[in-house]
């Protein structure tokens, strides 16, 4: 059944810096809060009447009652404007959009791999894994300690994340993908699924590692978006028609995704 989408006018309840160049925004969106699932995103218009014509896509980070939150990185003009907005400012939130992560009941181990702001797209999933009492390892990568995200939020769920930083200022010095290779080499579990979101190069590396270990992997893609409603085709990626086939079709990250089976993605770069 097609899921209903809501376009809600709401106001910012809080918008606070949580790490270098990263902010957490809360707003009341009852209809979206009641129907959204892990992996889904919202398309936010926050400068109505200003210079920004397009909405910006962000994954839902948490749902608490009627409130949703999003954790975002300041990247360009839009997120820079957003980061300066005060509580009480009006925004328009369209959602929930896109498909969801698929979690099988018989998993022995879920491994969640987040790189940079990619962990924002995985928090609702981690919460669901915890609720469903599925054993979960969380691997978080960051440039350095000042840009490390979500450590406390993950700990509050009773999970101690493994951390990798480029400069070794906290956790393992190196790539989060090294932690994934180590974990997959050591584990005796059989039914494992890796869930991941982060920079394109990291997603490709995670997909390759999972292929090597013959492990199921779901990736949340974050292609640039225009409409987020399946119309403009601005967000497409190449997806194999059949696993192991070289034949592909273009699929819309906003509609068929953002979550894809990693072996089906054709990584262009």
Ligand X SMILES: Cc1cc2nc3c(=O)[nH]c(=O)nc-3n(C[C@H](O)[C@H](O)[C@H](O)COP(=O)(O)OP(=O)(O)OC[C@H]3O[C@@H](n4cnc5c(N)ncnc54)[C@H](O)[C@@H]3O)c2cc1C
Give, as one character, the DSSP assignment of residue 24: E
CB of 212 to ligand X, least distance (A): 27
Residues with Cβ < 8 Å from 131, sequence gap 6 or more? none
Of 88-96, 101-109, 203-211, 220-228, the segment contacting ligand FES by CB under 6 A is 220-228
Angle between helices 176-186 and 200-212 (to 10 degrees): 10
x/- mask, ligand X, residues 152-191, rule CB under 6 A, reads ----------------------------------------
Which does residue 230 touch among ligand X, ligand FES, none (CB within 5 to 8 A, set by kind)? Answer: ligand FES
CA angle 10, 12, 17 (to 5 degrees): 155
Of 44-52, 137-145, 159-167, 224-232, the segment contacting ligand FES by CB under 6 A is 224-232
Phi, psi angles (nearest 5°) of residue 117 = -70, -5
CB of 20 to ligand X, least distance (A): 13
x/- mask, ligand FES, residues 176-215, rule CB under 6 A, reads ----------------------------------------
Q: Which helix (H) or strand (E) holds 209?
A: helix 200-212
Task: Count the helix, strand and coil residues of the chain and give each as a percent rounded to the nearest 5.
Answer: 25, 35, 40
Give the closest residue to 95 by CA, choosing from 197, 218, 236, 225. Answer: 225
x/- mask, ligand X, residues 108-127, rule CB under 6 A, reads ---------x--xx------
Which of 42, 225, 259, 262 is in the footprint of ligand FES by CB under 6 A? 225
With contact defined as beta carbons under 8 Å apart, do 70 and 60 qualify?
A: yes
Coil, helix or strand for 130?
Answer: helix
Give the closest residue to 179 by CA, choosing from 142, 130, 140. Answer: 140
CB of 229 to ligand FES, least distance (A): 6
How far apart CA 108 and CA 23 sit, in angstroms, is: 34
8 vs 54, which CB is nearer to ligand X? 54
How far apart CA 32 and CA 23 sit, in angstroms, is: 21
Query: How many residues sit in the footprint of ligand FES (CB under 6 A)?
Result: 12
Does residue 75 bind ligand X (CB under 6 A)? yes
Q: Interface residues for ligand X in 21-60 (CB under 6 A)?
A: 41, 54, 56-59
Contact footprint for ligand FES (CB under 6 A)? 225-228, 230-235, 252, 254
Contact footprint for ligand X (CB under 6 A)? 41, 54, 56-59, 70-73, 75-79, 117, 120-121, 222-225, 258
């Amino acid at each position: 059944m097609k899921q209903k989408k809501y376009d809600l006018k709401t106001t910012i309840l809080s918008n606070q810096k949580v790490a270098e160049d990263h902010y957490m925004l809360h707003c009341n969106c009852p209809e979206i809060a009641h129907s959204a699932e892990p992996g889904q995103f919202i398309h936010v218009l926050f400068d109505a009447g200003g210079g920004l014509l397009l909405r910006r896509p962000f994954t839902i980070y948490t749902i608490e009652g009627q409130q949703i939150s999003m954790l975002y990185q300041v990247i360009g003009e839009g997120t820079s404007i957003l980061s300066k907005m005060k509580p009480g400012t009006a925004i328009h939130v369209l959602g929930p959009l896109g498909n969801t992560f698929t979690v099988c009941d018989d998993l022995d181990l879920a491994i969640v791999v987040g790189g940079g702001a990619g962990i924002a797209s995985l928090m609702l999933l981690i919460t669901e894994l915890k609720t469903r009492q599925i054993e979960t390892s969380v691997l978080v990568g960051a440039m350095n300690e000042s840009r490390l995200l979500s450590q406390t939020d993950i700990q509050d769920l009773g999970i101690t994340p493994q951390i990798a930083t480029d400069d070794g200022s906290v956790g393992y010095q190196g790539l989060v993908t090294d932690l994934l290779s180590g974990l997959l080499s050591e584990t005796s579990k059989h039914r494992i699924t890796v869930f991941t979101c982060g920079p394109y190069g990291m997603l490709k590396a995670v997909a390759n590692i999972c292929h090597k270990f013959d492990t199921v992997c779901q990736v949340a893609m974050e292609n640039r978006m225009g409409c987020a409603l399946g119309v403009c085709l601005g967000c497409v990626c190449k997806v194999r028609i059949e696993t192991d086939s070289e034949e592909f079709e273009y699929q819309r990250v906003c509609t068929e995704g953002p979550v894809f089976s990693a072996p089906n993605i054709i990584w262009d770069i």
